[in-house]
Amino acid sequence: PPAPSPEPSAKPTPPSPTDYDLRWGVKIPLRDKVELNATLYLPKTKDGTPSRTPVIFTLTPYISDTYHA
């Protein structure tokens, strides 16, 4: 008999907006005077202090709004 197919894994629930701070339009200056425009998603800490967190950096040269829907 064929092997049973694996059960589909449940999709993880995305964090609620109260779990992170969103900072839109943060300027990142480069050495050649060009500025990158960034959107930061920062995890909230229990006491409200900034957290030191590893970074995941992605770059979308154009139409980044479609990636943040």
At 12-65, the pLDDT tens digits run: 777 666 677 888 888 989 999 988 888 888 888 878 777 787 777 777 776 666
What is the per-residue pLDDT for 24? Answer: 86
Q: Helix, strand, or coil here: 3? A: coil
Q: Helix, strand, or coil here: 18? A: helix
**Measured distance CA(28)–CA(35) in Å, rounded:** 5
Q: Can you give the residue ranges of every domain in the chain?
A: 17-67
Q: CA of 20: how far to CAs of 5, 43, 66, in Å? A: 37, 4, 20
